[in-house]
Chains A and B, each alone.
Chain A
């Protein structure tokens, strides 16, 4: 065969492919050996001879030889399957058998909610920043217009670390830190942990997530505030979600508001989740109190702004139907597996 040109040998091999489709078990084994065998296989022989050919031939013969190799292999595999099926061992590939998976990890469900909320505010031009969890009384209370000798200080039960130093009871101290460091226009959201001396129960934890928001610029009004919050709520929940602003009181905002979104569970008709009110409290908010501007060295005549604070854990509980806030800290793999994205 050594005298037969490689091209002719290949045509000869190609002719043998047709036979594969009708071969029985024995003949199939013979064909495999005669074509692909490591020692005497016809195609193996051609492939070995390629380095000795001239450049032009190398290319054409090489390409054709490899094509034939794939064609022969797949024809043999196909015929094997057909023959195996015929003798009753089932299909050669049972496509209902499980595929091979890899481990995947999920962001914590609270992180997912935090990221989504911060993402929506990013559309409104808010950057995302952070601040310390251990704070001075000055930043946690005084600069936020919460005198310690005023009942408003009782709204939060505080962990003390040492005289004058507390674990922040809200993310609001970052408002003061931001105003002292940056000049307006300020548009920031601040996710982070806050601490209150509330013992654990299904809906309270001594450590909880908050997202603070702050806007400061010339000419920012209550209308801008309502528009931003309404935009957020409709984007986060759904476009047809009703939003309600109720007058309220926070020492660091005025006018202050509690913001309610239509209950996502009952769509406003009343259910046990919303205590039959049809509404879900989503945040406390309001226009930045001029006393806060003054404490942070910002001209309260020239600048106005709004601020808000919300609890992503509570929102996550409603969104995912989680009955107990403690599950967020248990880190049970079966729980976390449910939040794969």
Chain B
């Protein structure tokens, strides 16, 4: 929302400093995002006095003017038919920059040099052209900047208005906040040439005004409807001051009647609508719910289907406007309009919101109605609007306006306990200060039963309970006035989430293993049976929630490949989603995924180069990840499938790891991936085991394994037969050769007794036992060396 510094100054009866005003508004909650001059683009334009108009030697339609510019007299070629000697016009010299960034050059026009240009309103962005260049009725001397001469110089504040404060959508609301801060009062200026307009006559449900019968049938959708009839208006351009006001807040002048209604909108936040009476059929105006299936064509030419949940303004034949949203094209004010009916209404906030949402329309009026206009201030707004229309467009009221209102609104009263102010804000605010602060923005207060009965002004629909008033006290007193003071607090009852702790641990381990943490989008293009679709996706690339992390990571790998990176190591901890039936949200699971490709370690000049991650790196990484992310889980090699599955202690599959298919460049190394559920179970506590003091005895066993025997089988038998002295069993070599039947795998066995030094003979006996068991159970024998 734009506030005009000149306009605010007029309402407050004082000159305002732009930066100071911006600061004042920001500290009370009307944050000013930008402060910018209005019409800054006209800074190069000055007043030019045409002293003489002569014929252009080479063109009949052009004139050659001598123009006094304040810095001398120059010759300017002019094409406007309305140029006359002795008149003043906007003049832009060669080198001036005009709206749109257009830079004026000195150039020849039909063989004669033109030193600059006399400008039209359109060229200056000041409205439509009338007769040609803009005639200026001003006493300012030639050379005076146009902005000064026309009183166009103004500053516009861009105010960030929060949805709870409809009153701040108008200049008066902003001025009220400034008035409170500066100790001033807001006064609406009288319009020059306005007649004394009588107050509206209040009627309950229907009444007649200027020969039109106004009937409110839907008083739920329209609790109050003011209507005035003005006959004999002359549609035309608005006076310059009115156009300037509208431009200063970013609105476009249209004609005097429309401009007047827009002025009231921007001054006091009351949307208005003018109907051409001659287009009203049957002399009636009915405010009712739409009939299902009824249609209307609005001002913008769009045709809309209606439902009975919408409120319409109708004449005897049908709908002529969607209440509070947009008028219809058949009753629009046109250049020929002479008699108007002016609507000044209050429409129900929810009704307007539902209507404009259903119709996908968002107008200036609906924006304000759905935030709440001033129900109590409506008659005054209507009166002021009539004054302004008559002042700028002429005409007269055949009789006083009517105010259709079945139930007069009662001002809201909210009770405030000064003790509660201190309780919530942490600082005692004296009662007289509370009264002064709230009073400064229009609340009226009376002590009652140890509390303050606070009457809420009609323009503050946001204030409905005590806490709203406490916020007012805090904000008007200034948030800065509350100390920054650390006071004692009690410890929380809420423990850390196990998943957060687990995630932190996983991050620590994986980064230490040389893997970067990545982030991919949980939204992606992949559908599938269990994928949860998004009902209103932004694009075809983001139609579903992910069911797996790896596809996103693989896309990241591919992006890295296209950036010529070969060594890529990424992991991600994130949620995956599985659709559910019924109304419940999809099931979320926290997962960890890893992708690896390229060199196992950074290359070093002293090493054999070019060792890439292989399947065994992947398996080792998988075991590391399982150890930290799914304690108790194990990597198992399923029959008939590549890679490994991770199973939990109860056998459920928690994830998998293996080589991935990816469309890499020819120089890319194999790509490996891991994805498993992140467990939230606690890791069993560590128990210390006494460190051995006796020496170990090692024995190496090179065994020949038939094709059907796996290393895991051998280890199981070895451990089973080795007895309590066998401390550890580990593979240290694999050898395959033609002369062997099967392959040879070598294990190192470590024997130890923690209580005494073992003798070689005992260990030999144990090894023989192991060999016997291997032969009997697996047909595995020692390799002949």
Chain A residues with CB under 8 A of B483: 223, 226
Give the nearest-CB partner of A165 in chain B. Answer: B585
Is A320 located at the chain interface by the 8 A CB criterion?
no
Q: Provided the pairs A129-B500, A164-B583, A188-B494 are in contact, do residues A108 and B427 lie with their beta carbons within 8 angstroms?
A: no
Instruction: Name A193's contact: one of B485, B499, B522, B560 (CB within 8 Å).
Output: B522
Per the 8 Å Cβ criterion, residues 172-187 of A in contact with B are: 178, 182-187
Number of interface residues of A (CB under 8 A): 94
User: Which residue of the partner chain B has the closest CB to A193?
Assistant: B522
Question: How distant is the Cα of A183 from the Cα of B535 in the complex, in angstroms?
Answer: 36
Closest A residue to B465 by beta carbon equals A290
Query: Among residues 137 to 166 in chain B, which have CB atoms less than 8 Å away from a CB atom of chain A?
Result: 162-165
Q: Which residue of A lies closest to B536 (CB)?
A: A160
Q: Tell me the complex Cα distance, A99–B457, Å.
A: 76
Asked if A154 lies at the interface with its beta carbon under 8 angstroms from chain B, I say yes
| Contact indicator A226/B484 (Cβ below 8 Å) | yes
Determine whether the beta carbon of A127 is less than 8 Å from that of B496: yes
The docked-state distance in angstroms from the alpha carbon of A247 to that of B441 is 15
Bound state CA distance, A219 and B583, in angstroms?
A: 39
Q: In the complex where A97-B605, A246-B29 touch, is A222 in contact with B583 (Cβ < 8 A)?
A: no
> Closest Cβ of chain B: how far from A333's Cβ, in Å?
5
CA of A133 to CA of B574 in the docked complex: distance in angstroms? 11
Instruction: State which of B229-237, B251-259, B565-573 sits at the interface with chain A.
Output: B565-573
B577→A333 contact, CB < 8 A: no
Q: Which residues of A contact B575 (CB under 8 A)?
A: 133, 193
Q: Number of contacting residues on B, CB 8 A?
A: 95
Bits for A211-255, please: 1 = Cβ < 8 Å to B, else 0: 000010101111110111011000000000001111111000011
- Which B residues, 474 to 523, have Cβ-Cβ distances below 8 Å to chain A? 474-475, 479-480, 482-487, 489-497, 499-500, 504, 507, 510-523
Closest to A151 in B: B163
- Least CB distance from A289 to B in Å reads 7
Please determine whether B497 and A130 come into contact, CB atoms closer than 8 angstroms.
Answer: yes
B522:A129 contact, CB within 8 angstroms: no
Question: With A129-B494, A162-B583 given, is the CB distance from A101 to B489 under 8 Å?
Answer: no
CB closest chain-B residue, reference A336: B516
Q: Is A110 close to B, CB under 8 A?
A: yes
Contact status A106-B516, CB under 8 Å: yes
Residues of A within 8 A of B504 (CB): 115
Considering the chains assembled together, what is the distance between the CA atoms of A108 and B570 in angstroms? 10
| Shortest Cβ gap from B551 to chain A (Å) | 13
Binding stretch for chain B, among A24-32, A70-78, A323-331? A323-331
Contact with A along B158-181 (1 / 0, CB 8 A): 000011110000000000000000
Interface membership of B188, Cβ < 8 A = no
Contact B536 A187 (CB under 8 A): no
Q: Are A246 and B535 in contact (CB under 8 A)?
A: no
| Partner pick for B512 among A105, A151, A159, A167, CB 8 A cutoff | A105
Q: How far is the CB of B71 from chain A (nearest CB, A)?
A: 34
Residue interface mask B454-472, A partner, CB < 8 A = 1 = 0000000000010110110
A161 interfacial contact with B, CB 8 Å: yes
> What A residues does B563 contact at CB under 8 A?
332-334
Contact across chains for A187 and B517 when beta carbons are under 8 A apart = no
Docked CA distance A243–B474 (Å): 17
- The answer to whether B468 and A254 have CB atoms under 8 Å apart is yes
Q: Which residue of A lies closest to B590 (CB)?
A: A130
Chain B residue numbers with a CB within 8 Å of A104 are: 511-512, 514
Taking CB atoms and an 8 Å cut-off, the chain B residues in 577-592 that contact chain A are 577, 583-586, 588
Which of A105, A231, A243, A332 is packed against the most chain B CB atoms within 10 Å?
A: A105
Known: A129-B500, A159-B536. Contact between A183 and B493, CB under 8 A? yes
- From B163, B491, B532, contact of A187 by CB (8 A): B491
Question: Judging by beta carbons under 8 Å apart, are B474 and A331 in contact?
Answer: no
B604 contacts A248, CB within 8 Å?
no
Question: What are the residues of chain B within 8 A of A315 when measuring CB–CB?
Answer: none
Interfacial chain A residues near B471, Cβ < 8 Å: 247, 254-256
**In the complex, A191 Cα to B532 Cα: how many Å?**
23
> A185-B492, A245-B479, A333-B565 are contacts. A227–B470 as well, Cβ < 8 Å?
no
Contact with B along A94-136 (1 / 0, CB 8 A): 0001101111111110110001000000001111111011111
Contact B510 A105 (CB under 8 A): yes
A106 with B517, Cβ < 8 A, contacts A134-B586, A227-B485 known: yes
Is residue A163 contacting chain B, with contact meaning CB distance below 8 A? yes
Which residues on B sit within 8 Å (CB–CB) of A165? 583-586
Q: Contact between A110 and B424 (Cβ–Cβ < 8 Å)?
A: no
**Which residues A189-210 have CB closer than 8 A to chain B?**
191, 193, 195, 197, 199, 206-207
User: Is A152 on the interface with B (CB-CB < 8 A)?
Assistant: yes
B520 and A329 contact, CB distance less than 8 A: yes
A249 touches B484 (CB 8 A): no
> For B103, what are the chain A residues with a Cβ–Cβ distance below 8 Å?
none
Q: Which residues of B contact A151 (CB under 8 A)?
A: 163, 353, 370-371
**Interchain CA distance A228-B542 in the complex, whole Å:** 39
Decide if B707 is an interface residue (CB 8 Å cutoff).
no
Residues of B within 8 A of A221 (CB): 423-427, 487
* Cβ-based interface call for B31 (8 A): yes
Q: How far is the CA of A155 from the CA of B474 in the complex (A)?
A: 24
Q: Does B27 contact A (CB under 8 A)?
A: yes
Complex Cα gap A167–B586 (Å): 10
CB within 8 Å for A223 and B482 given contacts A105-B513, A152-B163, A185-B491: yes
CB distance from B534 to the nearest CB of A (A): 5
Q: Judging by beta carbons under 8 Å apart, are A331 and B489 in contact?
A: no
Which residues does chain B contribute within 8 Å of A155, judged by CB atoms? Answer: 163
Please state if A330 and B556 are interface contacts (CB–CB under 8 Å). yes
Rounded to whole Å, the gap between the CB of A271 and the closest CB of chain B is 16
Task: Determine the distance from Cα of A101 to Cα of B515 in the docked complex, in whole angstroms.
Answer: 14
| Residue B278 CB within 8 A of the other chain | no
State how many angstroms separate the Cβ of A152 from the closest Cβ of chain B: 5
Q: Known contacts A130-B497, A152-B163; is A107 also within 8 Å of B507 by CB?
A: yes
Q: Does A171 contact B (CB under 8 A)?
A: no
B interface, CB within 8 angstroms of A: 26-29, 31, 162-165, 350, 353-354, 370-371, 423-427, 465, 467-468, 470-471, 474-475, 479-480, 482-487, 489-497, 499-500, 504, 507, 510-523, 532-539, 542, 545, 553, 556, 559-560, 563, 565, 567-571, 575, 577, 583-586, 588, 601-602, 604-607
- List 18 A–B pairs whose Cβ atoms lie within 8 Å, in order of A's numbering: A98-B604, A100-B606, A130-B499, A150-B353, A152-B164, A159-B534, A182-B493, A185-B493, A187-B492, A207-B523, A227-B486, A244-B480, A249-B163, A255-B470, A255-B475, A290-B467, A331-B559, A332-B559
Besides A103-B602, A185-B492, 12 more A-B contacts (Cβ < 8 Å) are A103-B567, A163-B583, A182-B494, A197-B538, A206-B521, A217-B489, A221-B487, A223-B425, A247-B27, A331-B553, A332-B560, A333-B516
Q: Which 3 A-B pairs have the closest CB atoms?
A: A103-B514, A221-B426, A247-B29
